[in-house]
Chain A
Amino acid sequence: QSVLTQPSSVSGAPGQRVTISCTGNNSNIGAGYDVHWYQQLPGTAPKLLIYQNNNRPSGVPDRFSGSKSDTSASLAITGLRSEDEADFYCQSYDNSLSIWVFGGGTKLTVL
């Protein structure tokens, strides 16, 4: 059972917008710790997608955006493309467990 809760799967048609939620508690996201998002394409290592809630590393398209509020965060993907099919993980820090915590991952399917 992951400390951060994500939907196991989301889907959308090409061109559509999807969002992935990440829910924590007052020991992690609610305690003010930033949320970061990683994209893992099939058979590859994860890649940083969003850092510190809403920042994109160089090279990440602006179709990807993040937000955070209270004890949860969201990743939004607009203009869905087939190459976006991947697993997405949120990550933060938990001060009661003193560890990094991840969401269980969300599989995005582009219909």
Chain B
Amino acid sequence: QVQLVQSGAEVKKPGASVKVSCKASGYTFTNSYMHWVRQAPGQGLEWMGIITPSSGSTNYAQRFQGRVTMTRDTSTSTVFMELNILRSEDTAVYYCARGPRGSWLYVDYWGQGTLVTVSS
């Protein structure tokens, strides 16, 4: 069965960087897009961007351009999301989510989420 297992919670200081991992299993890793979505405490969902695991190509939401980098390691079926120059407003749960084969327009499986807390 499809599983997306994310790395554990992080606490960071303002200005620092965080790198969250998402290990996929149960399907062919390079056949599906992977998205990153975040959710601030008590707030809604916000799309950050997408990576194509087969090629490594990425597309980021403009508001994160220059601060976010999404990468992948096909040998371990893992995608990574690194967010730099963290601010308190970046405190959120970060989710990786898989697009079904052939579509980048929605996701069918989600990771369990990684809480990133930014605090001095």
Contact = CB atoms under 8 A, between A and B. Distances in A.
A102 B106 contact: no
Interface residues of B, number: 21
A91 interface: yes
B47 A102 contact: yes
B44 A93 contact: no
Nearest to A45: B110
Interface stretch (A14-22, A46-54, A68-76, A78-86): A46-54
Interface residues of A, number: 24
Given A45-B95, A45-B112, A45-B113, A102 B107 contact: no
B85 interface: no
Interface of A is mostly: strand
A98 B45 contact: no
Interface of B: 35, 37, 44-47, 59, 61-62, 95, 97, 100, 105-113
12 contacts: A34-B105, A34-B106, A45-B110, A46-B95, A48-B107, A48-B109, A51-B106, A93-B105, A100-B47, A100-B61, A101-B47, A102-B44
